[in-house]
Amino acid sequence: MLLKAWSSLFLLVGAATAESYDYIIVGGGTAGGALATRLSLGLPSAKILVLEAGPSALDEIRINVPGMRGSILYTNYDWNFTTIPQENLGGRTIDVNRAKVLGGSSAMNYLCYDRASSPEYDAWGEMGSDGWDWNLMFDAMTKSENFTGVDQDVRGRVGPIRNLYNRVVFDVLKSWQPTATALGLPLNEGGNMAGDPIGLMFQGTNIDSTHYTRSYSANSYLPLAGSNLVVKTNTQVAKVNFADQLCHGKRFATGVTLLDGTQINATKEVILSAGSIQSPGLLELSGIGQSAVLEAAGIETLIELPGVGENYQDHIRTSNNYRLKEGVESFDPYIYDSGSENATAEVQKWIDNEVSIYDYTSAAYGFLNWGQVDADTQANLVQLAQAAVANSSSPIDQKKLEYLSNPNVPDLEYIFEANYVGAKGYSGGNFVTLFSTTMHALSRGNVHINPQDPHGKPIIDPKYLDNEYDVQAVIAGAKFARKIANTEPMSTFWELETEPGPEVETEEQWREFATSTVNSFYHPVGTCSLLPEEDGGVVDANLKVFGTQNLRVVDNSIIPIILSGHIQTAAYGIAEVAAAKIISGN
């Protein structure tokens, strides 16, 4: 299928030659592509370079077809990272899927498009980063959005990223809101983008209605750029270069060195947009971070910055799976039997720009606080959280305690999915899945370069379930998912709970279920935090790395506290804010 041509964008494939640019952006992902486009348009006389380690894949059907979301996991478009064995998960390792392709994880994600609660963005400024708050991020996230559906929510309607309500909704999913009403849970239809996401709803998804394709940074932002932007794919950066002499007492970035030794100069700024796993690693490879980490890897310490690679946070989830009654349709046949005649015919419909089952994406969501689950559950979890951080002076831990007492901040998320996603593996038949996700787990880990192989895969240790609050939060979420599933009308559609399974009843069994099946929702943040340096921060309010004159980080690694929502809208918002700061500074 022919996608939009890049008429104004100079795209190079392969290793770069010695050149000079005003701005070098390392990483052509979600934030990097958005930032590059805005700088190109806002600074038309500037020469801008994006360096992306992966290929361009604009015509890749597995990326473009909404219903094929997830199919590039574990392929050449994935960095295929994993954590180290997790002590509290019985020694399991957890996959850390990050996209290695132009567009980054906006090309790989599940097209979930929402925003967190307003107090969570306000917290960034309250913790010491002046100017960062809900109003700033709301304006930026709205600027990135082009909503083509119909509702009464506050939306952007002229931005690059298309967004709509999906036209394919399975009948079983239509039980979502009536079931919520039966349980006395609030609905939030058409009003969840304004900083108050509490409730159950159907959400939009980032699809371009023109050909019903995924709308992501590579096919929606980058084609808008001017000829002053150069994008080089299949080009991996080894480190940032610095001048020998300090500039006003700070390090001055002069460009980058590629893995093949090629140097490219930057006259104004170098900007890291490599994501929460690789932006901190690039800082360490460049001599910025904890001296112990750098020395172990044989790297000279240029700036001692202890926060680099720390404060790793993620969303943790479990899955309740229910086998549907005979005759109830799901998306499973189009995932697990994708070579069938029916599936092939539906793909052809998509190619022909007709309504197709493969238009399907996640649609039914819910964001709740613990009080809406159960008052006793809320009291117990608050007590556990207070005990878990009793000896912590971190503003992050204290802010998370505040969230637990704020009814406007979600504590858990549910996604009602019309297919199987579980731990045991698909065994045939039609399923629904209820994902339960803890929004603000207290566990905080780290990611660092491997001293034995600094340019290889990093050492990732999220420290999942390292406190009792996280364990009990996961259990409470799964228990309430069962309660939802057992409530009419949802309960009328399914015949058997296969995971956790009806035999899981005791507290010991629930704990075993949690520790043996809990997984990531692939939302790492925090490893180059927007915080004061004394609190573990890596970047200041202008997103400049402490101790540097002209090196910034612009991606989700700067988020100091994980948000109660899916993080792609935040990445676009951060890029829009950064672009405005850089352009105004010129």
State how far the Cα of 529 lies from the Cα of 543, in Å rounded to an integer.
Answer: 9
Query: Is 355:346 a contact under the CB 8 Å cutoff?
Result: no
Q: What is the CB-side half-sphere exposure of residue 533 using CA atoms within 13 A?
A: 12
| Nearest CA among 296, 252, 250 for reference residue 449 | 296
* Residue 523 annotated among the catalytic residues of the structure: yes
Tell me 221's DSSP state: I
State how far the Cα of 282 lies from the Cα of 286, in Å rounded to an integer.
Answer: 6
DSSP H or E stretch at residue 434 = strand 431-438
Q: How far apart are the first and last CA of the chain?
A: 40
Extract the tokens encoding 203: 């959400």
| Nearest CA among 173, 179, 181, 174 for reference residue 433 | 173
Burial group, residue 572, by CB count within 10 angstroms (0-12, 13-18, 19+): buried
Pairing relationship of beta strands 310-312 and 445-448 according to DSSP bridges:
antiparallel
Burial group, residue 96, by CB count within 10 angstroms (0-12, 13-18, 19+): buried
Residues 6+ apart with CB under 8 A from 343: 333, 334, 337
What is the SS3 string spanning 332-384?
A: HHHHHCCCCHHHHHHHHHHHCCCCCHHHCCCCEEEEECHHHHCHHHHHHHHHH
Cis link prior to 280 (omega < 30° from 0)? no
User: C-alpha 196: how far from its chain's center?
Assistant: 20
Out of 315, 440, 448, 566, the active site residue is: 566
Tell me 316's DSSP state: E
Radius of gyration of the chain (CA): 23
Sign of CA dihedral 90, 87, 446, 570: positive
| Nearest CA among 449, 444, 474 for reference residue 560 | 444
* Residue 566 annotated among the catalytic residues of the structure: yes
Q: How many CB atoms lie within 10 A of CB 583?
A: 14
Q: How many CB atoms lie within 10 A of CB 247?
A: 13
| Nearest CA among 310, 231, 348, 383 for reference residue 538 | 310
Distances (CA, A) of 476 to 55, 80, 496: 42, 31, 21
Question: Residues with catalytic annotation?
Answer: 523, 566
